[in-house]
Amino acid sequence: MPAQQTAKYLAGTKASAAFSDNNKVKLIRGGRVYFEMLLSMIEQASENIHLQTYIFAEDKTGTMVADALMAAAKRDVQVYLLADGYASQTLSKKFIDKLQRAGVHFRFFEPLLKSRHYYFGRRLHQKVFVADGRCGMVGGLNIADRYNDMPGIPSWLDFAVFIEGEVARQLCVLCWKTWNGFPVKMEATSCDDASRKFDIVKDEASSVRMRRNDWVRRKNEISATYIEMLRHSKSHITIISSYFLPGKIIRRLLRNATKRGVKIKVITAGPSDVMVAKHAERWMYDWLLRNNIELYEYQPAVLHAKVAVCDSEWFTIGSYNINNISAYASIELNVDVRNKAMATEMENIMEDIIQNKCLAITADGHVYTKNMLIRFIRWCSYQFIRMAFYMLTFYFKQRRR
């Protein structure tokens, strides 16, 4: 049975399993650095822009990005902004009308059924920006103040990667398909411009592949990446993950990896914006500690990052949380990067976070944080989260296209 379950995760991944070598990649820490990069890319775009995000907030950061998008549209850049219809539903009609009058093509990613009080359908959880089919960014950051460094308030911890090259072209095609609702047949887009060449210097090149999870479209590629990483790791894996609630398959692979001597470190949130998820995570701490997994809680602010690094050789980064909602209920986007120097850089950043900004969770220390009432609250939270994707998401099985 375990082998059959794992096979389901791997279904539909072969077509996009190959890495592309003609890419230049840069690791970006969240906060001000990310938004400065985003604004710069918007200002430099000359043909088209795609921004697809889970949350687009009508706050200072959202207004700043919206102003940049409108300025691009006014200089005849084709701008397409797609926001999730659930998470971004607070955008006012006035705000959207202003975008559209300036020439920005705006659309909500809509569920099957929706009102002010309920939402049935998968959510657009991916965060991707692409300019001119040439360069883009993929990560975990939404467009809102809490992901930016505001005066006196540190941003939530998050990461992204800048990509220039072949994978940026693939991201552009994906954005067009998502914008158009994945038509059966689609005419060539500006992403396919044959005159656009990528001459990446060999010393700056990275092997990259785009990875998607979308249950309706039978895409389980990010889940397959984590399975590959845990199955084939040789020495160590470091994971930084908000809402860390691995399902049975990932837990089994985590246990098997530690049994063969792989050292696994997991950084989770200390302060959390979703306390029921934090309680559920802490219910799992006993299992993780019993299986020799090192645990750390990030303390300065909310942790929102989603990165895993393996053997100082490669890493995966994007919107995918290690839980069943990301695995089964949302549209997610990651990229896998094979570059030893960058993987080592990411590991060093994570080790610095562990040493200077985390609280180590030990078996002895964890005992003193729980009594019968706290254990019951954590157990209830864990059971609720396990069932949440059934309650919050309705699946419409489409015909294979």
Residue with tokens 């990165």: 307
Domain 18-210 identical in fold to domain 216-392: yes
3-class DSSP state of 84: strand
In the chain, how many H helices and how many E strands?
12, 19
Answer yes or no: is pLDDT of 401 > 50: no
The DSSP H or E segment spanning 310 is strand 306-310
pLDDT, tens digit, 9 for 90 and up, residues 263-274: 999 999 988 777
CA contacts within 13 A on the Cβ side of 95: 19
CA 238 to chain centroid, in Å, comes to: 16
Give the Cα separation of 311 and 219 in Å (integer).
26
Amino acid present at 137: M
> Domain 216-392 falls in which CATH fold?
Endonuclease; Chain A (3.30.870)
In this predicted model, which residue has the larger pLDDT, 398 or 117?
117
Give the Cα separation of 230 and 359 in Å (integer).
25
Band (199; pLDDT cuts 50, 70, 90): confident
Domain ranges of the chain: 18-210, 216-392
- Residue 398 confidence (pLDDT): 33
- Eight-class DSSP state of 399: P
Could you count the other beta carbons within 10 Å of the beta carbon of residue 221? 25
The DSSP H or E segment spanning 52 is strand 48-53
Which of these ranges, 1-10, 69-78, 167-176, 277-286, has the smallest mean pLDDT? 1-10
Give the Cα separation of 33 and 140 in Å (integer).
14
Q: Is 292 left (phi over 0), alpha (psi -120 to 50) or beta?
A: left
Give the Cα separation of 304 and 127 in Å (integer).
13
- Residue 276 confidence (pLDDT): 73
CA 125 to chain centroid, in Å, comes to: 7
Two structure tokens written together for 372: 């019968």
CA torsion 60→66→67→70, rounded to 10°? -170
Amino acid present at 188: A
Amino acid present at 162: F
Angle between helices 221-232 and 248-259 (to 10 degrees): 20
Decide if 198 contacts 165 (C-beta within 8 A). yes
CA distances, 6 to each of 139, 210, 250 (Å)? 26, 20, 9
The CATH H-level superfamily of 18-210 is Endonuclease Chain A (3.30.870.10)
Answer yes or no: is pLDDT of 71 > 70: yes
Give the Cα separation of 40 and 37 in Å (integer).
5
Answer yes or no: is pLDDT of 399 > 50: no
φ and ψ of 206, to 5 deg:
-130, 145
pLDDT, tens digit, 9 for 90 and up, residues 117-134: 555 567 899 999 999 999
Going by C-beta distance under 8 Å and a sequence separation of 6 or more, which residues neighbour residue 327? 9, 213, 220, 223, 247
- Residue 97 confidence (pLDDT): 98
Decide if 238 contacts 350 (C-beta within 8 A). yes
Two structure tokens written together for 315: 């890493």
